[in-house]
Every structure is written in structure tokens, then in C-alpha cells.
A and B are shown apart, each in its own frame.
Chain A
């Protein structure tokens, strides 16, 4: 589960502090996406630095926080969120409501599926139904898992699969 984190740091106004603050991120496997060094903004005699980075998990992020504490890097503000990937699948054919319930249960059992929304339509005069499934997942690997899930399902049940171009 990839996290994207934005932090406001306060560094001592002595040489080498920025490198010392960034080093724990890379040594813990984080990926630095942006650094803004506010030389002219001082807070309690410290210089303000804003850093955006990615971490692979919450424990990794906490290891970085621990390391900053040891290095006397003050953390003034933290914004973090989980990075998600959109999913979109359209199913067309003879899809019963029971089948849709089964598909939904199957999706809910897949790890890293964060949200699912299902829209299901059908004409009273036809056996053809259409289902649009949208949502998000928190891992790129899950995109492939879902792709396989829907492919196998539509092959077995003989209805048409229309995947989003995201994959």
C-alpha cells in the first residue's frame, strides 16, 4: 500500500541539515518527489522545509519519523494519504442479479480493493444487462489480479468484458 506524504520540517540553521533530514527517507526506501527549502522563512530560529515523498507502508513512514526525532529534525505538519488506482470494468450480456451479487462478493474478497461502485441496468424485454463497475485499489498488482478475475469470469459465464484503458 503506497503512501504519499507531505511534511513541513523545521531545520536548525547550520550547514548540512537538509541532507541530514532527507537521508532517512532514502535510507528507508522512500521516494522523494519534491523539496522546497524556504531559506527566508524562520520559525523559532529554524528554517522551514517542505518535503513530499512516497513510502511503501505506515511502518516505513514511522521509521522515518523516528530517525528525524533522533536527528533533531522538527516535524511541524504532516499530510498523508494512500495512493490509489482507478478501476473501470463494463460487463455486457446475460448477467443475472445473482451473478452480479457473486461478482461483487468476489471483488470484496480481493486484497487492496479500497472502494467499489456497481451500476447495473437491463431492459425488461431483453436478457441483456449491463454492469459498470468502478472503484479504486491501493496496489498496482491488484490491477492485474482484477483483470484476471474479470477475464476468467466473463469467459466462464460468456458475457462481454470491456476494460478501462487504465490497465
Chain B
């Protein structure tokens, strides 16, 4: 299998490294996986069997993954290049989903499988992308787009394939959970807890996507399509964030033996992201930066799954599982 990596930031470097370290696994499956190209926002590199270590080192030392300039028409390059799987790790843009949307569609239309960690294209154009994959007889995989190392999509679609999933509630953004937990544990005002999250690298300089529930709403839209078979997008999700949560609110919740958590919910006619009062001891009352999903099915009842929601290795882990799935399906 020849792979092309689109985007070479933290996530792109992580999956490149994992492909390098998991060669014995691929050998045992009778498949060779080689990186035949990678590009970031300004540069491109291609070759028969690129060394992941070299690519990561090059990016770290020069800020670019390749020596060649990225072509003006990246879509045409993706269509014409000789590879089997596009590993899309471009950043999420919830307004227009670009450039990931164009890259993914170009790969699918030219008969290449796609594994993506980018929420934007999935949250805005899920049905378009699924239809393109089906029409071209290729696979579109996206476990890394929701919850990092929390295996919610493949769990629901494969291990729970015979179940009717009635509802899902989850903590889908670790940054918000960290902030709310710090407010509760240390009595911090919201903006101080946010600053702490930024200092620790959990929150971006512009934290809007996290604290206004944008990131969680994109994930709710993806899960609604992927697990519940709905045809919805990000704008169908009713959304409110946590930036107006006060110390008083946290304290009053504690008097009720509860905590406030930003919860994504699908089911009962709801598609929603909102802060909720969660009883202490409930699975969704956890602190820290973990993601957690609590699903109710008709046969198995309540199932709770958790995992680290972000990070280089965690996202690479999810993309690796998708890569292995494609290799197995090929067999």
C-alpha cells in the first residue's frame, strides 16, 4: 500500500512515525506500507519509499516537509499521483472545510482510499463524501476525527453492528473538561482556568472552537451520520459553550452533588452540545482531558468508552486502526 500524507503538522508527523515503527505488523499481514509522498502548506516531497524519520526531522529543522514547492493545483496532483491511500491530516475549518474537502474528494474520485483526522469535511459534507467513496468503490475512514484514541466509531459500526443504538451522550472535548474541572477543584474563574489550559498546551491561542462548543458540535454531526445513519451537518446541531459558566454556577452545582460538563447528545430527536449538570459518580462526571461516550443500545444496554481525545500518538493510533482495517478489507 502506497500512502500520501496531506498536511504534516503534529498529526501528520505522528502517523508517519507510526508507519515507520509498525512495519513488522504490516509484514505479518503480508502488506508493505510505504510513504510515497507528503506535503504541508508550502512544500512537497515524493519518492518510492520515504523514510518517516527523515520527513519528521526535515520538518522540525526547516519548517517544511519537502524541498519542492507545493503545486498550484494540489487536487490534480492528488488525482494523478500513484498511491493507494490518502492520509489527510489537514487542519479543521468548520466554515468551508477546505483544503481538506477538496483533497479528500480528489482522492476518492480518482479511486483512492482516504483516512482523515479532519472534522471539517465530515461535519459539513458527510453524505457527499460517503457517496463519492461508494461510487468509486473505495473506503473513507475517519476514526481519528472523533475522540482521538477513544474508539467510538469503529466500536459502534463493527463490534455493535447488530445493535440499534438508541442514544449517545459524551464528553467530546478534553479542553472544556479540563477547564470545568479546574474551576471546580481550585475555584478558578473561567478565564484563569482557560489560561492554565493554554499554558499546558491543551487549548489553542484562539480557543473559540473548544469553549464555544464548535469542536464538540462537529463531532456530534459526524457521529450522527456515522453511527445513527442520519443525514445532518454541523449546522443542525444546537450548540452552546462554556465561556459564560461562572464560579457561582460551579459552586451551586456542587451543592447539588453535581458537576458541570459540556455534553454532546444524540437521540430522542436531539442533536445538541450544551453544558449540563452531571451527578457526581456518573460516568460523564470525569475530570481531566479524557473523552468519554456513553451509548445506549437495545440489546447490550449501556456501554461507556473513554480514551485520550487528542495528541499526536492518540490520533496516530486511530489512523493506524483505519489503515489496518483497509488492509484487512483488501484481503
Residues of A within 8 A of B (CB): 88, 90, 92-93, 119, 121-123, 128-130, 132, 134, 160-165
Contacts and interface: CB of A to CB of B under 8 A. Distances in A.
A75 B263 CA distance: 49
Contacts of B249: 90, 92, 130, 162
Contact of B276 (A119, A128, A132, A164): A164
Contacts of A88: 256, 258, 277
Contact of B277 (A90, A122, A129, A160): A90
Interface stretch (B36-44, B87-95, B238-246, B304-312): B238-246
Interface stretch (B1-9, B135-143, B278-286): B278-286
A165 B284 contact: yes
B245 A165 contact: no
A167 to B, nearest CB: 9
B244 A93 contact: yes
Interface in B259-316: 260, 263, 274-279, 282, 284
A92 B246 contact: yes
A128 B258 CA distance: 21
A161 B275 CA distance: 8
B206 interface: no
Contact of A165 (B244, B246, B255, B278): B278
Q: Which label, helix, strand, loop or mixed, suits the secondary structure of the B interface? A: mixed
A-B interface, 5 closest residue pairs, ranked by CB to CB distance from nearest: A130-B248, A132-B252, A164-B277, A160-B244, A162-B275
Q: Which label, helix, strand, loop or mixed, suits the secondary structure of the A interface? A: strand
B179 to A, nearest CB: 15
Interface of B: 169, 240, 244-246, 248-249, 251-253, 255-256, 258, 260, 263, 274-279, 282, 284
A130 B277 contact: no
A4 B260 CA distance: 32
A165 B274 contact: no
A122 B256 CA distance: 18
Given A90-B253, A119-B252, A162 B246 contact: no
Contacts, number: 61
A156 B240 CA distance: 15
A18 B195 CA distance: 68
Contacts of A161: 240, 274
A6 B73 CA distance: 76
B258 A130 contact: no
A92 B244 contact: yes
A94 to B, nearest CB: 10
Contacts of B255: 119, 132
Nearest to A122: B248
Contacts of A93: 244
B265 to A, nearest CB: 9
Contact of A121 (B248, B256, B277, B282): B248
Nearest to A164: B277
Given A122-B248, A162-B277, A163-B277, A134 B256 contact: yes
Kindly name the residue among A90, A161, A162, A163 whose own CB sees the greatest number of chain B CB atoms within 10 A: A162
A129 B247 CA distance: 11
Kindly name the residue among A88, A90, A130 whose own CB sees the greatest number of chain B CB atoms within 10 A: A90
Nearest to B285: A165
Contacts of A160: 240, 244-245, 275
A123 B276 contact: no
